[in-house]
Amino acid sequence: MITEATIDRVLERLEASPDTYEQEVNDLADRQPELMDYLTNEDVEAFTELERDLLLFAALVIWQAVESERPELEEVEGDTIAAAEERNYHQLSLVKAPSFRDRLTPFFEQTAQEDLLAFVEDLTLAEGEEEVSSEAREPFFVTLKTVIDVLT
């Protein structure tokens, strides 16, 4: 399991060197090209620019946290990504709950990556400057949950 401490280390390192962010995104694109295609395809065009930036940042954090624990991480293929995304949308469609947060409960009950999922939940439901719109919450969460699934 990727721990909160690992996620925090990645966040601290990224915050300490913002000038290397673009290079780190390029490294993700080089080492996981199909995952990067998934994160930048036309489906994410519905997100605002801020939401797209936050999505890419979160995916970078997830990838680096996983890679720090599993340096021999294999390249993820498009079919694997598509299957994981379909499972996640299906899972989300099964839950009828009064709030979006409540709809996420089954994901926590069925994951070994609780800390990564909590990181994604916090970003998805954050309020303020980096808020994800209510319309974007579902695809934003599912996209990042899919990233977790295919990398772990």
User: For residue range 5-37, what is the model confidence (pLDDT) as tens digits?
Assistant: 999 999 999 998 888 999 999 999 999 999 999
State the pLDDT at residue 43. 74
- CA dist 75 to 48, 64, 84, 129, Å? 28, 14, 15, 34
Q: Which residue has the tokens 């990504």?
A: 81
Q: What is the dihedral of CA 149, 62, 70, 76, to 10 degrees?
A: 50
The parent domain of residue 65 ranges over 4-151
Q: The whole model's pTM is what?
A: 0.94
Number of domains, the chain: 1
Using one digit for the tens of pLDDT, what is the confidence trace for 120-140? 999 999 988 778 998 999 999
State the pLDDT at residue 91. 94
What distance in Å separates the CA atoms of residue 5 and residue 139, rounded to the nearest whole number? 27
- Which of these, 94, 112, 86, lies nearest to 104 by C-alpha position? 94
Helix or strand run (H / E) with residue 100: helix 100-103
Question: Is residue 81's pLDDT more than 80?
Answer: yes
State the pLDDT at residue 103. 93
